[in-house]
Chain A
């Protein structure tokens, strides 16, 4: 079983739609969760980070963590064509003193005008 799983997509939605992106994980030690956006052949750009369970909102983006289900989500409201990119989830465990991130494989999102 992979440590972090993410549906590769592509996910195609019309402009203005609400987008839901998800990751599941197997390591119950993960407590820090990040979402990155990656445009083609560019570096990952940090969108949000959350700690443990709960929700966090930042503008059009909402991150949710359900530790009991080992499931995290990123919601994008009022999606725009400029949101078209690959979205990566990444995780880290508290006992991991190196702070290394374990990434999902990414979900490609296409927002159609």
Chain B
């Protein structure tokens, strides 16, 4: 069964360093998302991406964050200068463009990247 994959599974970085989190969405999906989950808290939306542009971003997604689809299979989240409060699980998700609206809204999540900022 197709699935979303993410690398690395765990990333440790020093405050102020840049990190790139990588995702390979399900192959025929065209909507892509990043969410984060701080330990013990709810899953929060960061950004959605369709047709090579951001369709919506949350207040969390400030100028330190960027997303890119560098080729036909990868989707990346870059944090330019990490802060302690960026420590969280980051989940990539994807959904299909086909079918009824409910199906298009059904998102499939990857296993996550645990980001630890020291």
Residues of A within 8 A of B (CB): 32, 34, 36, 41-46, 49-51, 88, 90, 92, 94, 96-106
Q: Are A51 and B102 in contact (CB under 8 A)?
A: yes
Q: Are B112 and A43 in contact (CB under 8 A)?
A: yes
A94 to B101, CA, bound (A): 8
Q: Are A99 and B41 in contact (CB under 8 A)?
A: no
Tell which of B13-21, B79-87, B103-111 binds the partner.
Answer: B103-111
Task: Offer 20 A-B interface pairs, CB within 8 angstroms, sorted by A.
Answer: A41-B112, A43-B6, A43-B110, A49-B102, A50-B102, A51-B102, A97-B56, A98-B48, A98-B50, A99-B31, A99-B104, A99-B107, A100-B33, A100-B45, A101-B35, A101-B43, A101-B105, A102-B45, A103-B42, A104-B42
* Complex partner residue of B106 from A46, A94, A98, A102, CB under 8 angstroms: A46
A-B interface pairs (CB < 8 A), number: 71
Residues of A within 8 A of B35 (CB): 101
Residues of A within 8 A of B115 (CB): none
Q: Are B45 and A101 in contact (CB under 8 A)?
A: yes
How many residues belonging to B are interface residues under a CB distance threshold of 8 Å?
31
Q: Are B45 and A49 in contact (CB under 8 A)?
A: no
Within 8 A of A (CB), among B28-64: 31, 33, 35, 41-45, 48, 50, 55-56, 58
Q: Are B48 and A42 in contact (CB under 8 A)?
A: no
Q: Are A43 and B107 in contact (CB under 8 A)?
A: no
A99 to B97, CA, bound (A): 11
Q: Are A44 and B55 in contact (CB under 8 A)?
A: no
Given contacts A41-B89, A103-B44, A104-B42, contact A98 B107 (CB under 8 A): no
A96 to B105, CA, bound (A): 10
Which 9 residue pairs are nearest across A and B when measured between Cβ atoms? A98-B56, A98-B48, A43-B109, A51-B102, A103-B43, A98-B55, A105-B42, A100-B45, A43-B111
